[in-house]
Amino acid sequence: MHDTPQFSTRQRILGAAEELFAERGFAGASLRQVTSAAKVNLAAVNYHFGSKDNLIEEVFRRRLDELSRRRLERLAEIADEATLESVLDAFITPALELSLDRKGGSVFMRVLARAFAEHNTHLRKFLSENYGYVLKDFAAAFANLLPQLDKEELYWRLDIAVGALTYAMADFGVIQRRPGETERTHREQMARHLIHFTAAGLRA
Amino acid sequence: MHDTPQFSTRQRILGAAEELFAERGFAGASLRQVTSAAKVNLAAVNYHFGSKDNLIEEVFRRRLDELSRRRLERLAEIADEATLESVLDAFITPALELSLDRKGGSVFMRVLARAFAEHNTHLRKFLSENYGYVLKDFAAAFANLLPQLDKEELYWRLDIAVGALTYAMADFGVIQRRPGETERTHREQMARHLIHFTAAGLRA
DNA sequence: GTCTATATTTGGATAGAC
DNA sequence: GTCTATCCAAATATAGAC
């Protein structure tokens, strides 16, 4: 009888890659570091993913498919009673839940923030082509709620808001809670403050 | 008679490194790419800076010494008539001016944003040890202007504000202006919107 | 201060046995 | 699907001539 690993080789690679990409960046984390952390053989990456670039895309796909679905689901649910706060909540809460529920989910928000900070053409194209519709739908929802703003003014504020959200949510994966506070409480507070702050900025 | 380069080898290396670090990250940009772009010999980096890590630190030092000085100068100037808007202006305008005046200054704001996105221990320590006092002084100014907020509430909002500012100012170095608009006008508008948005979020 | 040449390490990727 | 062994390109860094 031999060990039955809890996660498949493929899943272990994705998990280790996620963690190392968050910590050292896509260029900074080598495949050797990834396979070593995942406790799999170096050759396994190329067998399962073909190349490092494909591995990077898979790291995103694994989380973003579901995250996008849940964000749009929630946006649809609150359509009748949409406020700036409820729309922001529809965007933020699924990310918060991901960061709390899933092993590695919290780390992923940092990977996502890196992808935005990197102006890597290839990566941005991949994300925009596959998940750009989510941001578009949310932008439309905000436009409806802020009819007093002209198109240009709205553009500016959403740009700033997206930056603030991306940056703040990256910290879902950083431990900086005060003693006595649980991870969950800390992040829920963060989400609450983030909604409050951003809504005020948008309707300023 | 041979060419007299307008900038010294050292300066050319710093300029090329700044640009490539902004575009590809610290790990993503190799010294070969840097020296090639700077049109200097590969060995020149080690001669002038000793190592890649030292080069990275010098890229920051070259801009941050003056930027920090100007930010604090401006903060002192408006001390008597401090408002959220004027304090935010004291933080943002020197960065805006850097991005407009200096060759490569606009690119540097992207490098700075990368440094924040990277949770690189060594780099964060260097920045915090050498320039942390600037953020501390600004935090104190904000605390004075927001006496109704308890310490924790203030902490949250400043955290979110710093993220929004960092992220948005990185785009000082990205060309996305509309046709007919000058670079300067575009960035001045960005700064104006950023102050408006962030002030509203802080006093929400 | 700047060059050529090179030492040394590390990177991504693959071939072929099992 | 997973391993060992290896190829080859690219990385940082240095030695030594000029």
CA distance linking residue B116 with residue B26, whole number of Å: 12
The pLDDT, as a whole number, for residue B5 is: 56
Average pLDDT over residues B95-121: 88
Query: Among all chains, which residue has been given the structure tokens 């949310």?
Result: A138
**Beta-carbon neighbour count of residue A156 at 10 Å?**
18
The pLDDT, as a whole number, for residue A122 is: 87
The pLDDT, as a whole number, for residue B182 is: 87
The pLDDT, as a whole number, for residue A200 is: 98
Residue A38 CA distance to nucleotide C18 C1' (Å): 22
Average pLDDT over residues A72-76: 98
Contact A166 B167 (CB under 8 A): yes
Residue A73 has pLDDT above 90, yes or no: yes
DSSP states along B164-185 = HHHHHHHGGGS--PPTT--HHH
Average pLDDT over residues A124-137: 96
Chain B environment of A189 (Cβ under 8 Å):
156
The pLDDT, as a whole number, for residue B3 is: 43
Residue A57 CA distance to nucleotide D12 C1' (Å): 29
The pLDDT, as a whole number, for residue B105 is: 87
Chain A contact for B122 (CB, 8 A cutoff): no
Average pLDDT over residues B16-31: 96
Burial class (CB in 10 A: 0-12, 13-18, 19+), B2: exposed
Average pLDDT over residues B174-203: 90
The band of A118, judged by pLDDT with boundaries at 50, 70 and 90, is confident
The pLDDT, as a whole number, for residue B108 is: 95
- For residue B153, the chain A residue with the least C-alpha distance is A193
The pLDDT, as a whole number, for residue A1 is: 41
Is residue A78 within 8 Å of residue A39, measured between CB atoms?
no
Is residue A147 within 8 Å of residue A56, measured between CB atoms?
no
In a domain, A14, yes or no: no
Task: Using a pLDDT cut of 90, give the percent of chain A over it.
Answer: 81
Chain B environment of A185 (Cβ under 8 Å):
none
Task: Using a pLDDT cut of 70, give the percent of chain A over it.
Answer: 97
Average pLDDT over residues B94-105: 89
In a domain, A54, yes or no: no
CA distance linking residue A21 with residue A30, whole number of Å: 9
CA distance linking residue B71 with residue B75, whole number of Å: 6
Closest residue, by C-alpha, to the C1' of D15: B43
Residue B112 has pLDDT above 50, yes or no: yes
Average pLDDT over residues B21-41: 95
Query: How many residues belong to chain A?
Result: 204
The pLDDT, as a whole number, for residue B51 is: 95
Domains in chain A, number? 1
Quick: pLDDT tens for B46-73: 999 999 999 999 999 999 999 999 999 9
Containing domain of residue B138, as a range? 60-203
Task: Using a pLDDT cut of 90, give the percent of chain B over it.
Answer: 80
Q: CA of B85, closest CA in chain A: separation in Å? A: 13
Tokens matching residue A160: 């700033």
In a domain, A191, yes or no: yes
Number of alpha carbons in the 13 Å side-chain half-sphere of residue B136 = 7
- Compare CB distances from B201 to A28, A120, A197 and report the shortest one's residue: A197
Tokens matching residue A94: 């699924």
In a domain, B19, yes or no: no
Q: Which of residues 28-87 of A touch strand C (CB under 7 A)?
A: 30-33, 42-43, 45-46, 50-53
Residue B2 has pLDDT above 50, yes or no: no
The pLDDT, as a whole number, for residue A175 is: 65
Residues 123-182 of A with CB under 8 A from B: 153, 156-157, 159-161, 163-164, 166-168, 170-171, 174
The pLDDT, as a whole number, for residue B131 is: 97
Tokens matching residue A57: 């895309």
In a domain, A187, yes or no: yes
Residue A112 has pLDDT above 90, yes or no: yes
CA distance linking residue A127 with residue A63, whole number of Å: 12
Average pLDDT over residues B89-99: 97
The pLDDT, as a whole number, for residue B199 is: 98
Is residue A45 within 8 Å of residue A13, measured between CB atoms?
yes
In a domain, B26, yes or no: no
In a domain, A41, yes or no: no
CA distance linking residue A135 with residue B30, whole number of Å: 34
CATH number where B86 lies: 1.10.357.10
Q: Which residues contact A70 (CB under 8 A, 6 or more apart)?
A: A94, A97
- Compare CB distances from A201 to B117, B163, B200 and report the shortest one's residue: B200
Nucleotides of D under 7 A from a protein CB: 1-6, 10-16
Residue A154 has pLDDT above 70, yes or no: yes
Chain B environment of A200 (Cβ under 8 Å):
200-201, 203-204
DSSP states along A106-118 = HHHHHHHHHHHH-
Q: Is the CB of B30 under 7 A from strand D?
A: yes
Chain A environment of B160 (Cβ under 8 Å):
164, 168, 193-194, 197-198
Tokens matching residue A140: 């439309």
Please state, rounded to an integer, the average pLDDT across all residues of chain B.
92
The band of B175, judged by pLDDT with boundaries at 50, 70 and 90, is low
In a domain, B190, yes or no: yes
Query: How many residues belong to chain B?
Result: 204
The pLDDT, as a whole number, for residue B171 is: 84
DSSP 8-class letter at A3: -
CA distance linking residue A32 with residue A55, whole number of Å: 13
Q: Which nucleotide is nearest to B27 (CA to C1')?
A: D11
Residue B177 has pLDDT above 80, yes or no: no
H or E stretch including B4?
none
